[in-house]
Structure 1
Amino acid sequence: MGGLGKTTLAQKVYKSNELERHFPCRIWLSISQKFDVHNLLREILYSVEPNLRKENPTIRQEDLRTKLREYLSQKRYLIVLDDVWSIGLWESLRTTLPDEKNASRVLITTRIVDVARAADGDSTPHELRHLNENESLTLLFQKANIPIGESGVQFRTDLNDVARQLTKMCAYLPLALIVLGSILSRRERTKNAWQRVHETFDWHDEATKRCSEVLLLSYVELPYHLKPCFLYFASFPEDYEISAKHVIRMWIAEGFVPRGGHGTMEEKAQKFLEELLQRSLVQVIKKSWGGKCKTCRVHDLVREMAIREVREENFFTVFTKEDDEIQFSAQKVRRAMLQCRPPTNFGIHSKYARSLLLFWPDGYELNNGGFRLLKVLSVERLNFWRNKIIHKSWLEGLIHLRYLGFRHCFVPFEFRRISFSKLKNLETVDFEGTSFAWPHGFFEELRYSWQSNYYFHSLWKVPSLRHVIIRRGNLYPSFPSKGDPLKNLQTLKLGTNIRRRSSIIVKWQNLKAMLTRSEHLISLAITSRALPLLSEGMRDLSCHETIQSLSLDGRWERDLCVLNLEMLPTNLTKLTLLGSELEEDPMSVLERLQSLTILRLWRYSFVGTKLTCSEGGFPRLQKLELVRLFNVSHWDIQEGAMPRLSHLIIFELYELQVPELQNVPTLRNLELDEHLYEISGQPENHYKIQHVSSVRKLKDWRD
C-alpha cells in the first residue's frame, strides 16, 4: 500500500555509491496511474542521450524503439520504474530494453503484487513490511521531538499507553506515523493532550483509510494562512518535482502572502514553505547549499487528500484525461490546472478564473473571451506554433496578471511586440529556456537578422517587477534604460545577442543605471555570446551590497579583463563565470571574498595553466566546480586553504593531475571526470583522497 516507503527505499538504492560505480547509465521514471508509453520511451532516450532533446524535428514515434535499443545496447544501465500500476506497461517496455547480458537491471516499485510477478516470474518480489511496535514508537517519538533514550527503546512512560494506541491505529504505517508525529510535536507533551488527538480521528479498519484520517487532520490543523499554500500543491502533476522559487512566486501573485511588515514577501513565503515541510505535508527533494529547500514534492497519498479538498472547496479544478466534462461544466472555475485537452465548454465559466497552469497539454485553443481576471498564467513545454493556444492581444488584456511563466516553450514570433506596459501589476516574468517558434520556410539569414534585434522594450516600464528570467532560449530582451522604474527588482537573468560593440557599450551603461536604482537586487545573471562583456560595466557591481548570486557568461574585453576585487559585490555568496577567458589566475582575487560559499569556474572562464589557492583563502567556500578549463595543468592547494570545502567537482581538465586534496580535510564529496577518476585510484594518489567519503565518476556535464 501507499506510505510504506517503497519509493524511499528505491531512491536509496538508486543513489548509492556502489551502484553509481556499477551502472554508468541510470534513469529514474515516475509512472503512476496515468502514463503514455511513447512519452516514457522518449524520456528514457533523452536521459541516455540528453542532446537528442534539442533536436528539431523530434524523433518520430515509430523510430523511438529502434533508437532506444540502439543507444541502450551500448551501455550497462539501471532503470527505475517507480509506482507502476499496469502489467501492460511492463509488457510494452520490456521488448524495447535490450538484454546484452552485461548485468543491466530494471527496478520496479508497485502497489500491485501481480505487476511485480509479471515483471519477473522467476524471483520473489521484495514486499515491504509494516513497522513493528517498537519501530513505530521510535519513529513517532522522533517526529514529535521527544527524546527516546540512548538504547532507542526507552520511551516516555507517561505517554507510552496512548502512543501505542496511536501507532496501532496508524497500522504501523511510516507515512501516517511521520505526519502524526509532526502533529503531536505542536501539542503539549501530556497524556491528555495526546488522548484528545486520538479521539479526534474517525478510525476505520482499513489502513489506507486510517492514513487518510491522519493526513486530513494534518490539513485541518493548518493555520488559516497555510491552507491555500498547501492546497496549491494539488495543481502540480503527480510526482512532479516542484521548484520552491516558482511555487513561492505563485503564492505571492495569488495574494497568499501578506504585504507590508518586516521582511520581503519572498522571505515570508519561504517561512510558509518551511512550516509545511516541518509538518511533513511536503517532502524536500533537493536542498540549496544554504540549507533551504530547492525542489520538493508531495506524496501520492497527500496529493490525493489535497485534490479531494480542492474539489470540495472549489479551490482548484484539475483537468486530466480521465476527468468527466459534466463534472466541471457546472462549476465556476476559480483556478485550473490542465494536463490534457480541456472540456469543450471550458470557456463558459472561465471569466472567474484567477490561475491557469498548463503542463504538457494537448493541442487546443483557449477561449479568448475568458480568463480576464487571471493573476497567474504558467505554461510548460508547449510549442505554440503547433498549438494555437494563446494570442498576443488576449495576453495584453490580462491587466490583473502578476505571474507570467512560459518555461521551455516555443512561443509565436508575434510575441516579440507584447506590450508589457499594459500589464501594470506584473511581478514575475519567467521565460526560462523559451524560444521563438520560427515560421517554417523562412530563409536562415532572415532568422539571424531577427535574432540580432532586441525585444520586450516595454517590459522595463512595469514598476512592480520583482523577478525577470529570460535566458537559455532565443528571446533576447533589451536592457533597461536609464529612466525605467526598477526599484522592486530582485532577480534579473538575461541572455543577450549583441552584435555591435557600440550597442554593448550602451547596454552596459543602461545596466549601470539600472543597478543604481535596483536597491533590492539579490540575483543577477548576464549572458552575452556574440560580443565581449565590457569590464567597465562590471566595475559598478562592487557597490551593490545586496547582490548575493552573480553569473556572467561571455568573453571579457582583452584590454580590461584583469580581475580585481573592486569589480565584485562585497557580500557575494555564489559566483559563476563562463567563457570569461581570463588569462591571470582568478583565485588570488576570488579567495578574498569573505562570504563566498559556491564558486563555479566553467567553460573557458580561465585560459591559463596554473591555479593557486593560498592559506586562509576562501574562508567560507563549501562547493567548488572546475569545468572545461582545458589549459590548466597544475593546481596548487596550500595547507589551510578552503577550510570549509565539502564538495568538489572537476570535469574535463585533461592536463591536470590529482591535486593536493589531502590539504582539504573537510572534503567529503568528490566528483571527477573519467580521466581523473581512473588515476585517482592509482596507489600513488591514494593518500590524496583517502579522507574523502564519496568519490564519483562523472560521465557528462550540462551547464
Structure 2
Amino acid sequence: MAAYAALLSLRHIIEQLQHHPSPPISLDQNQVQSLTNNLNFLQEFLEQGYPCVGISKEAIDVFESRIADAAHAAEDIIETRIVDQILTESTAQASKDITETWVSDQILGGAGSSRSPSTRQNVNIVAGLDVVEKISSVDLYRDLDKVIQDMGLIKKDVMEIKDINIGRIEDHDLHINSSTLAGAASSRSHLTTRRDAVVGLDELLIEVMDKLTGQQSNLHIIPIVGMGGIGKTTLARNAYLKFMKHFDIRAWVTVSQNYNVREILVEILLCINKAESRETLSAKSEGELGVKVHQSLWGRRYLIVMDDVWSVEVWDKVNLFFPDNGERSRIMITTRLSNVASIGSGGVVMDFLNEDKSWDLLCRYVFEEEDDCSPELEEIGKKIAKNCEGLPLSIVVIGGHLAKSKRTKEHWEYISENLKKIVNSEDDERCLKVLQLSYNHLPVHLKPCFLYMGAFPEDNKIHVSWLVKLWVSEGFLKPINGKSLEVVSREYLEELCDRNLIRVHQRGSKGRIKYCNIHDLVRELCLREAEKEKFLYVRIPHDLNNVPQGVINTQRRIGIHQSTSEPEALYALQSMPLVRSLICEFKGVLPTLDFRLLRVLKAVDKHLYSEEKRQYKYPIEVVFRLFNSRFIAIRVDSRQNPQFPSSVNLLWNLQTLIVKDTVGAVAPSEIWKMTQLRHVEFDELEMPDPPLGGQDGEFVLGNLQRLSVITSFKCGEEVVTRIPNIEKLKIRYDKEFEGCSSYCLDNLCRLRKLESFGCSFLSQSVPNRDDMLQNFILPNSLKKLTLWRTKFYWEDMNTNIGLLPNLQVLKLSADACVGTEWETVEGQFCNLRYLLINSCSELEWWTTDSSHFPCLEHLVLQQLDKLNEIPSCIGEIPTLQSIELNLCHDDAVISAKRIFDEQEDLSLRVRVVTQNRQFESLAGPNFQVETCNIL
C-alpha cells in the first residue's frame, strides 16, 4: 500500500542523512525525533491492520491517503532542500575553479594579459555568488514543522478511532461468523448443483483419487495448492463427489479469510448429521463442539474438505478434533499459500494448463454437448484459449461469454482482440475479484513490492537481480537486523511466490530465483490497485497526452512501455515535477528531462539485447546531474567513450549504477567518495586507485556488494581494504598480462565476504602458470567461480579450486583449463552443485568417482569435441538431476544415454544438442535431443 511505502521511504531518507559521512544538509534533531515518533506510531498502526470496524472502505482509503500525503510532503521538503543545496555548492565550486584558473593565467601571463568576455563573465558570477545567501534553513524548519503538525493530527485521529472501536469488535466478530456460515452453506449447496468441468485436471484428479483411496491406514492430509482461479476447488469438489460413498462420513466446509473455529465445527456437524439444529449447535462452546466432532468421527472412515484455507493457524486450532483412528480417513485442504500446503505430505500443486488443455476446457464451456468447433472458428478459438495463459478461471469466464454470443468468425476475432477487457468486465470483474482476495490477504510489508510488479511490461521476464536492486532503491523495504536489504528483498520475493502471486520462471545455478513473471490478470490487479492508491502510474507514451494535468503532475512512479520516439508524447513527461521513479523503454535517445527529484531511472533491460534495443541511449552527462538518484540503469552510445565527470560524487545517495554498451569507460578517483554505492555494473570499466591519505574510514566503500566488469584491476592492499563487503567481483584483463604478482591477486583472499568471482583474460599471451598458481588465492567464502581463458592445468583444479569448502558453482570456459586428462581426487568439491565445462578444447578423458562430487546436481558440457565419454560413475551421484551436452563428441552423447538408461528412479533429465541427426532416435521422456546445423 502507498501509505506504508511512503512511511518507510521517509524513514529511509532521515536515516540516510543521519548516518551519511557527508550529508548535504542537516535536520533539526528535535524535528527528527518528532518525525520518527510519528512514523513509528503510524507504521505500527498499518502493520497491525485495522481493528476499526464500522468504518467504510472509502473512509479507510481517505485515511491512508492522508498518511501518504503527509509522508510525501516531508519527502518533498527534505529532498528539494538537498538538491538545491547540492546545486548551489556545485555551482559555487565550478565558479571558484574558473576564477582560480583565471588568476593563475593572469600571474603567468603578466599584467598585460587581457581578459576575454567569457572570463569577465565568470568573475562576475563568482562575485554574484559571494553575495547570494544559501537556501534558508529557516524555511526548511518551518515547512517540516507544518508536516509534523499534520502527522500529529493523523496520530490523534488514529487514537480516537481505536478508542471508539474497542466496544465494537465483539459485534463485528459475530457478523463475520454469520457471513462465514452463509458462505459455507452456499458452497455446500453448490456441491450438487454446479456443473464443474474437469478438463485439464484429469491427471491431477487421478493423483488425488490415489491419495484418497490409498492403503495408508492413518489419517492422511491432502493439500491442494495453487493461485486463485487455478481450479483448486473444482478439483477437490470432483474428487469429493466421486468418492463420497467410499467414506462413512463426509463434510465440506469453506474456511475463507475471516474464519471462526466455532462455526467451522458447527458446519462439520451439520454435514455429518442433517437432523442437527443450527441454533442448538451454535449455543454450545467451542470445546463442546470439538468434543462432539471428535466423538462423531471416532471409529468411522471420514472425508473432510477444508476449502480456501488462508493460514496454518486455523489448522492448528481444529486438527486436534480430527481423530487418527487407523480407518484410512482423509482431509483435503485447498489453499493459495505454499506454507499451508506444508501441513500434509505429498500435496498436489496445480499449475497452469497447457495450450491443448486450455482449448479443451474452452470447448467444454462453449459447446457443452454439441458437436465440435467448426474449422472456421477453431484457429481463432485456439488463439483465444492460448491468450488466457492457462488460468482456468479466465478460460471459464471467456467460455461463458462465447457460449452466449454469436458464433461467427468476425465476432470471435473481436473477442480475441479485446480479450483482456472482456475477462475483466465479465461477471462484474469476477476474475479480478477472485485475485483481489490474495492481495487483500497480503501482509502490509509485501503490498508495495507486489504493486511494483505492475511497472514491468506484459509477458516480461523480470530479472530478479535487478528487481531486488529496484526494491532496495525505492526505500519501501523494512530493515531486519543482521540482514542486508538485498537479502530481505529476496525473502519478500520468495513469500510472494509462495502465495502464488508471482511465478518463478527460472532458478539460477545456486537455486535462487533468477527470473520471475506474473500472469496478465495478476498484473491487471497490480495496475488497478497501484493507480487507485497513487503508488504507480503505467502508460504507453501516446496515452500520456490524454492524461489530465492534475493527475499526471502528482505521480511519483511512472512506468512507460512500448518503444516509441514520439516527441509530443515524451513532452508530457516534463510536467511531472514530483516523479521519483521512471521505468521506461524508448527507441532512440531519451529526451533530456529535468527530473530534479528522480531516484530511480531504469531505461534498459538486462536480458533484452538486440540491435534495436541497443538504440536506447541516454546522455551520460545528463545522468550525473540527477543528484537525488539511487538507481540508474541506462544504455549509452557505444561509439563514444563515456566519461565520468569528477563531480560524480555529488550523487550523494547513489546505490546502483548500471551502464550498458560501455567501452573504455574510466571512473574518476571521486568514485571512492560515493559511500552509498552497493552495485556497480559496466560492460567495461577502469577503476582508479583510491586517493592516498585521508582519515580512518575515508574513501571506503563499505556498502559495495557488486563490482563488474573491471578491467586490469589491481587488487593491492590499499584497494581490497576499501571494499571489505564485496560479494560479487568480475575482473577482465584485456591487455598484455603483466603477471598475477603485478596485479596482487593473492590479496583476493582478504575479501572474506566474496561469494561470486569471475576472472577472464582477453590477451593472446599465455599467463605464466607458475606465477598464476602461486598468487591466485581465493577466499573460503567463495560460492561461485567463473574462469575464462586462465589456462590452468586440470590438476590445478584439485589443488587450488577443489579445496574451497563452500564452492557450489564452477564454470570453466574457453580453455580455462588445458590438458588432455582431468583426474579428480576424493575430498575435493565437497559442496559443488553445478559444473559447467565449455570449450576446453584439449580435454579427452575425465577420470572421477561419484564420491568426488557428492552434491552435484547439474552437469553442463559444451563444445567438448574431444571428450570421449562422461564417466559412468557420474550417474551414481544421488543428488544428480540433469546432464546437458551441447555440441560435444558423439561418444560423450552415447555415454550420457548409457548413464540415463541405468537410472532406476527415472528422475534424471538429459538434454542433448547435436549435429548428428541419428541421435534423434534416442529421444524420449526426460531425454531430449535437439539437432542443429553449424554454419
Partner of 1:366: 591
Assess if the C-alpha contact under 8 Å between 1:609 and 1:634 holds in 2.
Answer: yes
Scaled by the length of structure 1, the TM-score of the pair is 0.65
CA-based RMSD: 4.3
Residues 387 and 493 of structure 1, relative CA distance in 2, 3 Å threshold: closer
State the Cα deviation string for residues 515-570 of structure 1 (Å, max 9, x = none): 22322111111112223274232211223221111111117731644536971111
Assess if the C-alpha contact under 8 Å between 1:162 and 1:191 holds in 2.
Answer: no
Once the two structures are superposed, the pairs formed by residues 474-489 of structure 1 within 5 Å of their partners are 475-481=684-690, 483=692, 484-489=699-704
1:270 to 490, 493, 507: 490
The amino acid of 1:213's aligned partner reads K
State which drifts further: 253-262 or 627-636. Answer: 253-262
Partner of 1:458: 670
Whether 1:376 and 2:600 are equivalent positions in the alignment is yes
Partner of 1:644: 855
1:235 to 448, 455, 477: 455
The amino acid of 2:506's aligned partner reads K
1:527 to 724, 732, 736: 732
Q: In structure 1, the residue corresponding to 2:603 is in which secondary structure?
A: strand
Whether 1:568 and 2:568 are equivalent positions in the alignment is no
Partner of 1:420: 648
1:406 to 627, 631, 634: 634
Rounded Cα–Cα distance in structure 2 between residues aligned with 1:565 and 1:642: 26
Partner of 1:349: 575
Whether 1:255 and 2:475 are equivalent positions in the alignment is yes
Give the percent of matched residue pairs that are identical in Structure 1 and Structure 2. Answer: 24
The amino acid of 1:635's aligned partner reads W
Q: In structure 1, the residue corresponding to 2:432 is in which secondary structure?
A: helix
Rounded Cα–Cα distance in structure 1 between residues aligned with 2:898 and 2:480: 57
Partner of 1:333: 555
Partner of 1:490: 705
Assess if the C-alpha contact under 8 Å between 1:607 and 1:631 holds in 2.
Answer: yes
Residues 631 and 228 of structure 1, relative CA distance in 2, 3 Å threshold: same
Residues 306 and 631 of structure 1, relative CA distance in 2, 3 Å threshold: same
Residues 675 and 394 of structure 1, relative CA distance in 2, 3 Å threshold: closer
The amino acid of 1:551's aligned partner reads G
Residues 541 and 414 of structure 1, relative CA distance in 2, 3 Å threshold: closer
Whether 1:160 and 2:252 are equivalent positions in the alignment is yes
The amino acid of 2:643's aligned partner reads R
Rounded Cα–Cα distance in structure 2 between residues aligned with 1:144 and 1:386: 39
Rounded Cα–Cα distance in structure 2 between residues aligned with 1:164 and 1:516: 55
Partner of 1:539: 746
Residues 128 and 396 of structure 1, relative CA distance in 2, 3 Å threshold: farther
Query: CA offset at residue 465 of structure 1?
Result: 0.8
State the Cα deviation string for residues 299-351 of structure 1 (Å, max 9, x = none): 11000111111221222121215636222533222111122447254235321
Once the two structures are superposed, the pairs formed by residues 206-217 of structure 1 within 5 Å of their partners are 209-217=429-437
Rounded Cα–Cα distance in structure 1 between residues aligned with 2:768 and 2:902: 41
Residues 494 and 330 of structure 1, relative CA distance in 2, 3 Å threshold: same
Query: CA offset at residue 191 of structure 1?
Result: 9.0
Q: In structure 2, the residue corresponding to 1:224 is in which secondary structure?
A: coil
Q: In structure 2, the residue corresponding to 1:586 is in which secondary structure?
A: helix
State which drifts further: 316-325 or 349-358. Answer: 316-325
Rounded Cα–Cα distance in structure 2 between residues aligned with 1:158 and 1:190: 20
Q: In structure 2, the residue corresponding to 1:347 is in which secondary structure?
A: helix
The amino acid of 1:603's aligned partner reads A
Whether 1:554 and 2:764 are equivalent positions in the alignment is no
Residues 595 and 152 of structure 1, relative CA distance in 2, 3 Å threshold: farther
State the Cα deviation string for residues 265-322 of structure 1 (Å, max 9, x = none): 1111111111111111111011134332111001110001111112212221212156
User: Greater relative contact order (Cα 8 A, min sep 6): structure 1 or 2?
Assistant: 2
Query: CA offset at residue 255 of structure 1?
Result: 0.5
Rounded Cα–Cα distance in structure 2 between residues aligned with 1:468 and 1:164: 46
Residues 630 and 391 of structure 1, relative CA distance in 2, 3 Å threshold: closer
Partner of 2:833: 622
Rounded Cα–Cα distance in structure 1 between residues aligned with 2:615 and 2:256: 57
Assess if the C-alpha contact under 8 Å between 2:541 and 2:570 holds in 1.
Answer: no
Q: In structure 1, the residue corresponding to 2:435 is in which secondary structure?
A: helix
Q: In structure 2, the residue corresponding to 1:618 is in which secondary structure?
A: coil
Partner of 2:7: none
Rounded Cα–Cα distance in structure 2 between residues aligned with 1:191 and 1:231: 34
Partner of 2:127: none
Rounded Cα–Cα distance in structure 2 between residues aligned with 1:663 and 1:390: 50
The amino acid of 2:761's aligned partner reads G
Residues 132 and 163 of structure 1, relative CA distance in 2, 3 Å threshold: farther
Assess if the C-alpha contact under 8 Å between 1:550 and 1:575 holds in 2.
Answer: yes
State the Cα deviation string for residues 591-622 of structure 1 (Å, max 9, x = none): 22221111111101112222111123211111
State the Cα deviation string for residues 458-490 of structure 1 (Å, max 9, x = none): 33331111111112xxx4332442553212111
Residues 531 and 481 of structure 1, relative CA distance in 2, 3 Å threshold: farther
Rounded Cα–Cα distance in structure 2 between residues aligned with 1:286 and 1:134: 23
Once the two structures are superposed, the pairs formed by residues 24-103 of structure 1 within 5 Å of their partners are none
Assess if the C-alpha contact under 8 Å between 2:460 and 2:517 holds in 1.
Answer: yes
Whether 1:681 and 2:894 are equivalent positions in the alignment is yes
Rounded Cα–Cα distance in structure 2 between residues aligned with 1:701 and 1:575: 31
Partner of 2:912: 697
Rounded Cα–Cα distance in structure 1 between residues aligned with 2:575 and 2:912: 54
Residues 489 and 538 of structure 1, relative CA distance in 2, 3 Å threshold: same
Scaled by the length of structure 2, the TM-score of the pair is 0.50
Query: CA offset at residue 696 of structure 1?
Result: 1.6
Once the two structures are superposed, the pairs formed by residues 658-669 of structure 1 within 5 Å of their partners are 658-666=869-877, 667-669=880-882
The amino acid of 2:579's aligned partner reads A
Assess if the C-alpha contact under 8 Å between 1:229 and 1:251 holds in 2.
Answer: yes
Rounded Cα–Cα distance in structure 1 between residues aligned with 2:203 and 2:559: 41
The count of residues paired between Structure 1 and Structure 2 equals 521
Assess if the C-alpha contact under 8 Å between 1:347 and 1:366 holds in 2.
Answer: no
Rounded Cα–Cα distance in structure 2 between residues aligned with 1:636 and 1:387: 49
Rounded Cα–Cα distance in structure 2 between residues aligned with 1:330 and 1:622: 55
Rounded Cα–Cα distance in structure 2 between residues aligned with 1:557 and 1:522: 26
Assess if the C-alpha contact under 8 Å between 2:470 and 2:600 holds in 1.
Answer: yes
Structure 1 gap ranges (5+): 1-126, 167-179, 199-203, 437-450, 497-503
